[in-house]
Amino acid sequence: MPSRRQIREAAVQFLYCADLEGGANPSELREPFWEFITESDRRRLQVATFRTAQHLAIGREDRLAEFVDRQRKTNPVFAAYPEAEKLKLALARIAKLESAWSTNFASLERLPKDDDDDTVAHRFGKALHDFFAIDRDLAGERAAFILALQDFPAIKGRLEAVTASIRRLQRISDRLRTVEEPEKFPEQGDLRKIRESKAEINELREQADKLINSTLAHKPEIDAKLAEVIENFAPERIDPVDRAILRLGSFELLHTNTPPKVVLNEAIELAKRYGTTDSRRFVNGILDQIATRAAKLEKSENPDS
């Protein structure tokens, strides 16, 4: 799971981007921000997912060749039973999707897996998404064919060979579903790393968004508190990075149970990483005053605590 440091780094980066002069509305910024922040992690997850899919698809070419051969041999059956035209069309749709599956899979194999170029990474991500979409459509068409076949008992036996090939190909798709949605298959121990990586990306966004939303909701109050300790305070007069760190730190001091020492230490680390040479001292001094005032107020309101 993501660490507190990772969550707060993401929150500060979002608050910074959302508060730049002429910056995007926070709601409009959300999706592109998370695509950018998680890009490298998603890239590694996509490559790991495809590598696993490659392993699970071993032997599919032979099963596909068998299906194509058996589909061709169904022509005399359908010629003798024109009332089964919808079955023939369903089988043709399956064949078309099987071909699209193979084409898409081959293109994925040719795409670079370790290239840092944004365009290449986007192409790989889209191709992987399209591949799984084709596989889901294919599974639906296979199931529809097998169900429709029940309405034609007179030819069901004569189509058993091609039906068996369809089932054999579907077993590969069933395995691929565990790779696409590993969180739904916790019993699959060999997918643990993919499952954990996907969960960590989702958890980072969930926890950081929660922190971001809470900070933004209290921004007017937070700025009022900052104005009490910063002479001639005006948000635009403070460095945007320092401003984001101060707002996040102030929210945690005023509205969470996180120990002030922890909040200050984390804010200092954020200032060291993202701020200027003066940020560390400035952030520490302001948040220390916010913490002191908050402690005095709490003591005055609860003298017996």
Q: What is the DSSP string of 57-70?
A: TTTHHHHHHHHHHH
Distance CA 171, CA 148 (A): 19
Question: Residue 263: in which H helix or E strand, if any?
Answer: helix 260-274
Quote the pLDDT of residue 278: 92
In the numeric block, the tokens 């058996």 are attached to 70
Structure token digits, residue 65:
């060749």
- Domain edges within the chain: 4-27+205-298, 39-180
Return all residues near 7 (Cβ < 8 A) that are at least 6 apart.
Answer: 204, 207, 208, 211
Distance CA 214, CA 216 (A): 5
Quote the pLDDT of residue 64: 98
Quote the pLDDT of residue 233: 81
Q: Which positions of the chain have pLDDT values less than 50? A: none
Q: What are residue 34's phi and psi, to 5 degrees?
A: -70, -30
Distance CA 61, CA 69 (A): 12
**Residue 101 CA to its chain's centroid (Å):** 23
Q: Is the pTM here over 0.85, yes or no? A: no
Quote the pLDDT of residue 24: 61
Fold of 4-27+205-298: N-utilizing Substance Protein B Homolog; Chain A (1.10.940)
Quote the pLDDT of residue 22: 54
